Amino acid sequence: MSSAGNVRIIPRLDIKGKNLIKGVRMEGLRVLGDPHEFALRYYHAGADELIYMDVVASLYNRNNLSDIVSRAADQVFIPITVGGGVRSLEDARHLLRSGADKVAVNTAAVATPPLISEIARHFGSQAMVLSIEAKQVGSGKWEVYTDNGRERTGLDVLAWAKQGAELGAGEILVTSVDREGTRKGFDIELVAAVSGAVNLPVIASGGMGSMAHFLDVVRKGNVSAVAMADVLHYGRMTLPQVRSAAREAGIEVRQP
């Protein structure tokens, strides 16, 4: 779906244990520090939303972020999406009670698609984000991966995005495993294909290294939101710089 209205600018915080980490293609994780400090900095710098992703949750069958999220929710007053290890309605309820506004589900949604409908029915579709980790497997073809980009599913990304939308997801977070952490730009073809396949807001994630990449994915990928990590965590760009460059380029973004 194309971005009607403001394009949302969303820092993504990948968490392992108590630490903010960053990988390349979801591997080789580096510890960057306390996620709360980064979250506060991004909130005060004008982020539209935050995404927290527990990157090892699927290995341990649990999401570890409720403490981190409840701490953030006391001081951060923008929507928070939390993903990783959301296995059940109970897991979703726990995170939403801890202060999350939305849950992002990948592995469990693939294993049990009706979970998408269950979460949407109980908490509203706006709270149910379908997280899709995609790897390119051919020209114009991508496969869904789970477990933080480790496990193949055999599912076609576009077919799965459509199914997720039909089941009641309110938003799709699409992460290119091939581009994640590379700073080489988004997989525009992937993002545009997902946006074209569903009538839902799509968040592009994986690959932002420069403002040109942001402008490219908004213009050609028809996204509602852009998630970014490396470029912010390492101080290559600030949120005010991203926002003013977007505005100068004629892209509608919120005035903080």
- What are the residue numbers of the active site? 14, 133
Using only C-alpha atoms, the chain has a radius of gyration, in whole angstroms, of: 16
Question: In this structure, are residues 121 and 169 in contact, taking their beta carbons and an 8 Å threshold?
Answer: no
Instruction: Take residue 234 and report the two structure tokens written for it.
Output: 């390492």
First CA to last CA distance, the chain: 25
Closest CA to 145 of 183, 191, 176, 184: 176
62: helix, strand or coil: coil
Look-up: residue for tokens 């932002």?
208
In the chain, alpha helices (H): 35-44, 57-60, 66-73, 89-98, 107-111, 114-123, 157-167, 188-197, 211-221, 230-233, 239-248
